[in-house]
Amino acid sequence: MKYLYFISILLSIVFSTKCNIILKPEKISTTKAGFIFVQGAEIPAINYKKFALELQRKFNGSLWVVLTEFPLNTPEPVLVNNVMSSAYDLLKKNGFDFDKKTPFFFGGHSLGGIIVQDYLIKNFKSLPFNLIGLVLEGSFITRSNRSKKPSDFPAVLTLGGELDGLARLTRISEAFYHDSPQSLDTSMTLVVNGMNHYQFSGEGDRTSTIIKNDIEPEITNEQARDEITSIINSFINLKLNRKNEDDIKLLFKYANSTVDLVWPLIEGLNMEGFYHFNPPCSQGNVPNCTFGSPWSKQAQIYMGSIDTNKLNVFNEMRSVLGIPEHFPSISNCTKSTECLLNISTITQNVYSTLDSLDNGLFPVAAGEARAKMASRQAVLEALFNKKYNFNETDSSSICGEINQMALNWALKRAPLNTIKRYLEKGKVLKIGQDVGPEATGFQWVFTSLKFTELRDDKNKTFVEVRSPTLKTPTDYSIKAIAGVHYCKLLTPARAIEWIYIDSVKP
């Protein structure tokens, strides 16, 4: 079996060296550059030909292009060195006499962007030419590569589509956050309005993955190709020190429109205490860690139902099933005229089990936030030093009310066109009654925030969100969990990600 495996690899390598497509420049110029592009998964290299020809046409010089093609049209790490070597040989054989000073750019779409960045991070100092920049289309620098990318690595242009259902805008927003401050001289993250994942090639049949996940575009394939090639051409001019006023204007135009799109998502992720911005301090000695979730603090304030000036809420992000287990607590209130309660709460953001793939296909925001809070009864009794009826203070669906706050937050911050699309075409979120209360903490932990597709009286699909809850009165027999109210929270980030992306996915 081992021999068959190696034979198949060998045949794949031989096959791969014959399939790269070279596009010679039509313009004869003293300004020469190379551009090597890696296809997305299951997308033939020929599907990017119109994109490459358009880029050559716009470039004021001689741009030599190679569209690499892997066996089965799927970029593979085990083959990339051989495919790249064959691309270099192909350029030489066709008359491009490059040397160590010749400027080169690389690009990649989707999976191709991941494969090419891995290759360049390992090899960029030993290439037979001068690597100037990397263009990632519907792709991004992966989380694992953020720490591996050397400080002297060439500039990276990350291009996203607003309606990309595979490299979703939330993941592009994460890239924007880590590229900040954005600079024309270093790395940039830009988004094209109304564009989806398929349109980075815009030719040929859509793959089954694209059919299943991509969002309907709001611009034509030709318009998408024009916008993408214009941005890349300006980026190339910038890195070749040939920038002009038009290039700067164009890049600033897209920078400004990108901020309008991604900033509400970044703001939501910050409110969530997003682990991939800054990890929780509870994970160990981590620089620039996040101690608590700003949204969980707001949730506890709402749970207390009193003036915020009377509460000082601390939140710690850690596993709710840690050993020793941590519980919410309320400090003794002083008997001064102005009483200030100190409340400590616990939150654990729970991300998709597929989050570690970091491919942009799955939700980026937490699927739920497990929030251990002090009950409304406990807060009122501690503050006013008198008994309250638990069945009156905590009987309603308070978790659902907090989740409605998160949804309202998202609806106020998403761009108007995004809201219009969500209301007209999307599966809107509606907050339902709380589930439970659960009998034990273990049951509460492993009963997920519920997203259920339903139909309204007009037969339109919507998604109902319901929070499992666990709550106990202050005189509960087990003192460690007396006076608690646990919620599965819909975070502002998940709410706004749903509005932008998941509501309008196929």
> Hey, which of 17-26, 164-173, 178-187, 316-325 has the most confident mean pLDDT?
164-173
- Residue 60 CA to residue 58 CA, distance in Å, equals 6
Q: What is the pLDDT of residues 220-265, one digit of tens each?
A: 999 999 999 999 999 999 999 987 899 999 999 999 999 999 999 9
Lowest mean pLDDT among 63-67, 383-387, 422-426: 383-387
Using the predicted structure, report yes or no on whether residue 215 has a pLDDT greater than 60.
yes
d(CA 479, CA 330) in angstroms, rounded, equals 13
For 82-88, which contacts have Cβ atoms below 8 Å and span 24 or more sequence positions?
82/13, 82/16, 82/17, 83/16, 83/17, 83/20, 84/36, 84/119, 86/16, 86/17, 86/20, 87/20, 87/36, 88/128
Which pLDDT does position 180 carry in this prediction? 82
What pLDDT shows up at residue 47? 98
Share of the chain above pLDDT 90, in %: 84
CATH class label, 2-242:
alpha beta
What beta strand segments (E) does 187-293 contain?
A: 188-192
What pTM did the predictor assign? 0.94
Tell me, what's the pLDDT at 182? 72
Q: Which of the two residues, 240 and 182, has the higher pLDDT score?
A: 240
State the Cα–Cα distance between residues 35 and 107, nearest whole angstrom: 7
The residue among 183 and 211 whose pLDDT is bigger is 211
Confidence of residue 123 (pLDDT cuts 50, 70, 90): very high
Q: Mean per-residue pLDDT for 387-398? A: 95
pLDDT in tens, 336-368: 556 788 999 999 999 999 999 999 999 999 999
pLDDT band at 6 (very low <50, low <70, confident <90, very high): low
Confidence class for position 8, pLDDT limits 50, 70, 90: very low
Q: How do beta strands 341-350 and 329-330 pair?
A: antiparallel
Q: Please, which pLDDT band fits residue 7 given cuts at 50, 70 and 90?
A: very low
Q: Burial of 335 by CB count in 10 Å (0-12 exposed, 13-18 middle, 19+ buried)?
A: exposed
Give CA–CA dist 335/383, Å, rounded.
Answer: 10
> Is 192:226 a contact under the CB 8 Å cutoff?
no
pLDDT for the residue numbered 461: 96
Q: Note the Cα 318 to chain centre separation in Å.
A: 22
Q: Where are the domains of the chain?
A: 2-242, 281-504
- Average pLDDT of the chain is 93
Is residue 474 predicted with pLDDT exceeding 90?
A: yes
Confidence of residue 4 (pLDDT cuts 50, 70, 90): very low
Handedness of CA 259, 260, 261, 265 (dihedral sign): positive
* Amino acid occupying residue 64: W
Percent of the chain with pLDDT over 70: 94
C-alpha torsion sign, points 410, 413, 414, 416: positive
The CA distance from 298 to 242, in Å, is 50
Using DSSP, state whether 219 is helix, strand or coil: coil
DSSP β-ladder status, 62-68 and 32-38:
parallel
Cβ atoms of 247 and 232 within 8 Å: the answer is no
Encoded tokens for 33 = 């550059």
pLDDT digits 0-9 by tens, 283-329: 877 888 998 999 999 999 999 987 777 888 999 999 998 888 999 99
The pLDDT value given to residue 384: 87
Mean pLDDT of 57-62: 96
CA 91, 92, 96: angle at the middle one, nearest 5? Answer: 75
Name the residue among 89, 124, 121 with its Cα closest to residue 104.
124
263 Cβ partners below 8 Å, 6+ apart?
none
Report the pLDDT value the prediction gives residue 334, as an integer from 0 to 100.
Answer: 56
Helices vs. strands in the chain: H and E counts, helices first: 16, 16
Token pair 């406990």 is found at: 378
